[in-house]
Structure 1
Amino acid sequence: MCGICGIFNLDGEPVPHGHIKSMADELAHRGPDDEGHYIDVNIALGHRRLSILDLSPAGHQPMSSEDGRIILIYNGEIYNHLELKVELEALGYQFRSRTDTEVLLKGYEAWGLDVIEKLNGMFAFALWDSPTRTLYLVRDRFGIKPLYWTKVGKTFIFASEIKAILTHPKVSTQLNPEALNEYFTFQNLFRYHTLFKGINLLQAASIRWISEREGDLKRRTWWDYDFTNRDEGMSEEEAESETLRLFRQAVIRQLMSDVPVGSYLSGGMDSGSIVAVTATQIPRLSTFTCGFDLSSVTGREANFDERREAESISCHFKTEHYQQVVNASDVSWALPNVIWHLEDLRLGMCYPNFYVSRLASKFVKVCLSGAGGDELYAGYPWRYYRVFDAIGRDHYLRQYYEFWQRLVSDQDKPKLFTEDLWRYVRDKDTFRTFSRVFTFNEGLKYDSPEEHIANSLYFEIKTFLAGLFVVGDKLSMAHGLEERVPFLDNDLVDFAQRIPIRHKLANLEKINRFNENETRKLRRYKAFGEGKNVLRNAMSSLLPEEILNRRKQGFSAPDESWYRGEALDYLKAILLNKRAAYRDFLNPRFVADIIDKHVAGKNNYRLLLWSFLCFEWWCKIFLDGVRPDSMDAR
């Protein structure tokens, strides 16, 4: 795991060494072990290395081919690199290191860009083909590793993180109003732009290239999720046994490392299953949990602390277990640094991720995460059932769009934004942005409940999980920690997409027979299980029954209660400040009204309040230029 960056002046202007050095320095937290630069007049590449495989200088980057014609900078892990190395050796290639970087480099020499489709792993890389004077940027099929880019005049700039791009003197920091509108609708971005005007996220499973001769940026995608080719003849037994086999294979594949490997551990099935397999391979495995101080918490959030369940799993598998306890005041200390590292605002409360990653980084350099299990195996049934009775495509999209307006509804946006900003974005249709996600797969159908659920899986894995990957990468790499996701293994994903919906969601036939005119349908739907049926049965040989049957609990702090109590003073101090930076874009009266309604218990606005806090710190840090290390976070 590393940080990469580069500058390509298409007009032939030489790149000053100081420019690429400044970009790489801004990525030092991603790669504290080594630094390297390559400059060839108008092209410059920078690399910061976090040494995971082959810790020797042989893994130094940028890495060049033996004839010096191909230069590679690479961030990620290729889990099948040893198999590919055998293929390449059979073709006559020789290796001077044990790195997957060299396998990728020689793979390009042997197969060209076709090498990408052979890779099983997470990666983002840039490759300079000197003979053709062409720069290629590539991102893994799932989009686990980030890569951002911008083009200013005749200068093309890219990096693993936006903050590195911002160091270039030609780049100015401006807010992207369309992205802000999208963020305050979905608490996510469904297009590949960012809050930074002109700076984009490279699409997952895509290649972008630009040549000195042509100067135009080109793109092609080489893979996409597809839940439409389900094998309806597959039995439950086959689905369960093959899921277990491929899951074991995926976890063991992702244990390759020359440094210590640990695992996050909640009280749930996904991380517990990873620990179950990993503990058979790593004696005295280190595991890490984040819990919460619930002394002032009431209601449903009183069950948000999973430390007891995590300890139970740890004891069962004899792991060396560490815990981080977060309290209501911790958000104020962490938030400036969280936003500095996250930059690309996504999803809900993520400061617990920041704390547990920091904890893990004190003991290991690689940590396994359970992300992806819910999206592959239908772990959010209360979402799917909202569109279960949809009639046709338009009805489905409208119903699902209503649910995914997580923060501010379309009718409230004139009150949210300042008059100037609303005048700019009012014609930017976020429903069209939402609907566009479904157009990437022309095979989607909308004629049955099963198809609606399959479409929902497709949407959520391309959007919600993609947001989780941004959060996971940025907040783990903030501490020089590599986060791996065993559920996102090529073979496991390919098989999981083929499993019939009826095996993933229990009692699907009974739900099909519901009278859609009856009241309280959603409550009835929830009584039919929590999804991931086939995964739960597959893991029955790995985990204790009480873990398998435990009600699903998301990884979230009890912020609803804290924002009404212990954290309320902080909330008001930041958001009701008359000099707050967000006031240039958001209406402070709307913000104050949301705080009042939340405190009064009229609604639970914890997600929106979190996003207000995040955006305020984003404005301070990136628009006002206040670095976290110079802030009083309180």
Structure 2
Amino acid sequence: MCGIAGLVCARAACRDEDHARLVEAMTALQAHRGPDHAGVVGLGAVWLGANRLSIIDLSPAGHMPMATEDGRWWIAYNGEVYNFAGLRADLARAGHRFRSRTDTEVVLRAFQTWGEACLTRFVGMFAVALYDRRTDTLTLARDRFGKKPLYHASVGGHLLFASELKALRPGLGPRRVDRQRLLEWMLYRTVDGGADTLLEGVRALPAGHLMRVVRGRPEPPRSFYRLEAEVHADAWRRWREAPAPVVADTVEAAIAQGVHDRLVSDVPMGTLLSGGVDSSLVTALAARGRPGLTAFNIAVEGHPALDEHRYARAAATALGVELRTLPLTGEAYRHALVRAVYHSDLPLTHPNSVAYLLVSEFARAHGCVILLTGEGADELFGGYPQRYRRRAQLLRLERLLARAPGRLRKALVLVGGTAAGLPVTRFSEYDLLAHAVGALDGWAREGHLRRCEAAYAFVPDPVERAVLATMLGDVHLFLPALLRRLDRMSMAASVECRAPYLDHRLVGLVVNLPLRWRLRGRTDKWLLRQVAARHLPRALVTRRKVGFPLPVADYLAPLARPELFRDGFCVADLGMDPAGLAATVEDGRHRIDAVFSLLTLEIWGRLFVRDEALDAVTALVLGRSTTAPVPGPAVPPVAAAGAR
């Protein structure tokens, strides 16, 4: 796991000294992603930079940027390709000789041997910059689900790229907010289906895409993976007829393989254990292959109703693993809030992002460099049952409305909408159907949800077809924010997070399962619970999903001050109404979601648009003098960037 950065300079404006300083500055801003080494290399008009977090082969042989013996191919790479040992054997049989044990060198030689087609051979997560000096071609690529980030921007004829948006700042100059993307973020808490930035002119390379820059000219990004293409009618029909034990055996084997593959490491690893079924199953399987595994957890102090620590303790005891628990207080949360926004590169989508940052720092302080997590299980296996039931109810109501006469139709709208839990306030079919896929699906109505529905066009039952399409859409809709949180908060502490449920082989299996294997009555994630019952105590398997709740209203109450926004980013730069803003903030306890969004937006704007210092913004938010000390992360200091 590392950070990458670089540029392709305009041929008429290549000044080596300036570009060396720029890429060094970009690399330094990502030192937390790779504290073990930093390197920058100039290759004519192309510059590559990399920060290394040593995971496999801790020797200098794994330092980056890395090149082939003849100097033709160069790589800067962030991620882990878990099947690198098998690929290495294939490449060795083809005549390659390796100088390290790293997966970085395997990825480099895979590009050298198989070209862009190698991307479909990789099992894992990656963002890579690969430069072929002979053809003057830079290839940027990002893994299937976007677990690893990669931003790019064109400035003055130069193409800049980096793992984190903040690393682009030295080369961007004055920055402006993209108002359309800001509106999308405020409405849906996601941006353009994963564009992942609110700044004009800056984009994230989409998940499952690659982009080539040939002789300094960027080509449009191209897809090498589409989740919808993994859905197959014959597979769905085969699983529909399969006995439950066979389906459970197959899914269990796929999950176990995903966990096993993610145990490869030369550094200490652990798990994030909430006590829920997802993380408990990952911990159970990991503990079998990695004796001495440590699990990490957070205990919410002062709020016993929200504290899941007892469930994590029960799981750890049953599995025989050590559990280390971080007590979370409001003071610790408030002191880490600005730091979390800084590392997120966006205003925070989830209040628990701060907790992820703190527990990652806690794990690193205890010597853990890798954490396995349960991310992705809800999206894959059906972890949002109320959302699916609402979709099914509305589809049935929509079909009924189409056949009903006018007055009856209005009555059905009111009764049916109320039963579906919708805020129906007027006798209008439009009011009801506008909520048909929920507010979070607003962007999907432009075509994405229709593509998901088309993938399941062969499913005969329209309700099942609609719910399966919603589940498939949720992978696209929710995962970008979840994966950003996972990557940025863990890498801020120089910790690599691995998500076995997002192994693309498991995903390809699950998206072909009929609905009855994922939802049964009021039981969500039915099949996953059947698998978990083979490894966990019944009480853990049947426990109701909680979802990492935090007492956000209590935590933010001391920060919800109207004066924080006076002449600030939201008012002065975005033109928000000061009176309306003040009223929302003063009513914070009853409008905590809005206050959290506005507060993190204000912090983000000050950091990323106004370029205010991290310590100064922290002091402002905490309401104290900038001369007061700002508590830093509870981790060993990140080493300075190595010699260039």
Q: Does residue 1:232 correspond to 2:240, yes or no?
A: yes
Sort the Cα spacing of 1:109 and 1:228 in 2 relative to 1 into closer, same or farther, 3 A.
closer
SS at match of 1:470: helix
**1:312 alignment partner, one of 311, 314, 329:** 314
1-structure distance, mates of 2:280, 2:317:
12
- Partner of residue 560, structure 2: 571
Q: Is the 8 A contact 1:27 1:164 kept in 2?
A: yes
Q: Does residue 1:381 correspond to 2:381, yes or no?
A: no
- Partner of residue 211, structure 2: 208
- Partner of residue 435, structure 1: 446
Question: Deviations for 1:29-73, whole angstroms, at most 9, x for unmatched residues?
Answer: 100001111102211000000000000011011111121111111
SS at match of 1:126: strand
The alignment covers a number of residue pairs equal to 571
SS at match of 1:451: helix
Sort the Cα spacing of 1:30 and 1:572 in 2 relative to 1 into closer, same or farther, 3 A.
same
Q: Percent identity?
A: 30
2-structure distance, mates of 1:492, 1:401:
26
Q: Is the 8 A contact 1:503 1:533 kept in 2?
A: yes
Q: Does residue 1:629 correspond to 2:626, yes or no?
A: no
**1:162 alignment partner, one of 158, 162, 165:** 165
Q: Is the 8 A contact 1:29 1:477 kept in 2?
A: yes
Sort the Cα spacing of 1:437 and 1:291 in 2 relative to 1 into closer, same or farther, 3 A.
farther
2-structure distance, mates of 1:397, 1:21:
53
2-structure distance, mates of 1:580, 1:333:
20
Q: Following TM superposition, by how much is the alpha carbon of 1:592 offset from its aligned partner in structure 2, in angstroms?
A: 3.0
Q: Is the 8 A contact 2:255 2:506 kept in 1?
A: yes
2-structure distance, mates of 1:544, 1:627:
49
SS at match of 1:388: helix
Q: Is the 8 A contact 2:557 2:588 kept in 1?
A: no
The worse-fitting range, judged by mean Cα deviation, of 449-458 and 328-337 is 328-337
Question: Deviations for 1:210-268, whole angstroms, at most 9, x for unmatched residues?
Answer: 1116x242221011223743242233222211111111111111010000011000020
- Partner of residue 548, structure 2: 555
- Partner of residue 418, structure 1: none
Sort the Cα spacing of 1:347 and 1:271 in 2 relative to 1 into closer, same or farther, 3 A.
same
Unaligned runs of 5+ in 2: 403-428, 623-644
**1:618 alignment partner, one of 604, 616, 632:** 604
2-structure distance, mates of 1:545, 1:589:
53
1-structure distance, mates of 2:481, 2:511:
20
**1:360 alignment partner, one of 346, 358, 363:** 363
Q: Is the 8 A contact 2:275 2:540 kept in 1?
A: yes
Residue type at the aligned position of 1:618: W
Unaligned runs of 5+ in 1: 296-301, 406-430, 508-527
Q: Is the 8 A contact 1:72 1:127 kept in 2?
A: yes
2-structure distance, mates of 1:86, 1:291:
45
Sort the Cα spacing of 1:146 and 1:606 in 2 relative to 1 into closer, same or farther, 3 A.
same
**2:259 alignment partner, one of 251, 255, 270:** 251
1-structure distance, mates of 2:308, 2:349:
21
The worse-fitting range, judged by mean Cα deviation, of 135-144 and 330-339 is 330-339
Q: Is the 8 A contact 1:159 1:165 kept in 2?
A: yes
- Partner of residue 422, structure 2: none
- Partner of residue 524, structure 1: none
Residue type at the aligned position of 1:583: V
State the TM-score, normalizing by the size of structure 2.
0.85
Question: Deviations for 1:512-546, whole angstroms, at most 9, x for unmatched residues?
Answer: xxxxxxxxxxxxxxxx22x1000000111111000
Q: What aligned pairs does 1:51-62 form with structure 2 within 5 A after superposition? A: 51-62=54-65
Q: Does residue 1:580 correspond to 2:568, yes or no?
A: yes
SS at match of 2:253: helix
Q: Following TM superposition, by how much is the alpha carbon of 1:401 offset from its aligned partner in structure 2, in angstroms?
A: 4.5
Sort the Cα spacing of 1:113 and 1:60 in 2 relative to 1 into closer, same or farther, 3 A.
same
Sort the Cα spacing of 1:61 and 1:506 in 2 relative to 1 into closer, same or farther, 3 A.
same
Sort the Cα spacing of 1:598 and 1:401 in 2 relative to 1 into closer, same or farther, 3 A.
farther
- Partner of residue 418, structure 2: none
- Partner of residue 482, structure 2: 468
**1:402 alignment partner, one of 421, 432, 438:** 438
2-structure distance, mates of 1:81, 1:621:
39
2-structure distance, mates of 1:235, 1:117:
31
Coordinate RMSD, CA, aligned = 2.2
**2:116 alignment partner, one of 109, 113, 117:** 113
Question: Deviations for 1:320-378, whole angstroms, at most 9, x for unmatched residues?
Answer: 21111222233321111111111123522111111111111112110111100111101
Q: Following TM superposition, by how much is the alpha carbon of 1:190 offset from its aligned partner in structure 2, in angstroms?
A: 3.1
SS at match of 1:303: coil
Residue type at the aligned position of 1:578: R
Residue type at the aligned position of 1:24: T
Q: What aligned pairs does 1:312-331 form with structure 2 within 5 A after superposition? A: 312-331=314-333
Q: Does residue 1:132 correspond to 2:135, yes or no?
A: yes
Sort the Cα spacing of 1:228 and 1:89 in 2 relative to 1 into closer, same or farther, 3 A.
closer
Q: What aligned pairs does 1:214-613 form with structure 2 within 5 A after superposition? A: 215-226=217-228, 228-229=231-232, 230=236, 231-295=239-303, 303-349=305-351, 350-362=353-365, 363-389=367-393, 390=395, 391=398, 398-404=434-440, 431=442, 434-438=445-449, 441=452, 442-445=454-457, 448-507=462-521, 528-529=522-523, 531-560=524-553, 562=554, 567-572=556-561, 575=564, 577-584=565-572, 585=574, 586-599=576-589, 601=590, 605-613=591-599
1-structure distance, mates of 2:88, 2:345:
37
- Partner of residue 421, structure 2: none
2-structure distance, mates of 1:74, 1:596:
46
Sort the Cα spacing of 1:28 and 1:404 in 2 relative to 1 into closer, same or farther, 3 A.
same
Q: Is the 8 A contact 2:346 2:604 kept in 1?
A: no
Q: Following TM superposition, by how much is the alpha carbon of 1:435 offset from its aligned partner in structure 2, in angstroms?
A: 3.0
Question: Deviations for 1:438-460, whole angstroms, at most 9, x for unmatched residues?
Answer: 35555354961111111111111
Residue type at the aligned position of 2:486: G
SS at match of 1:38: strand
2-structure distance, mates of 1:194, 1:608:
20
Q: Does residue 1:83 correspond to 2:86, yes or no?
A: yes
Residue type at the aligned position of 1:201: A
**1:64 alignment partner, one of 67, 70, 85:** 67
The worse-fitting range, judged by mean Cα deviation, of 72-81 and 482-491 is 482-491
2-structure distance, mates of 1:172, 1:369:
38
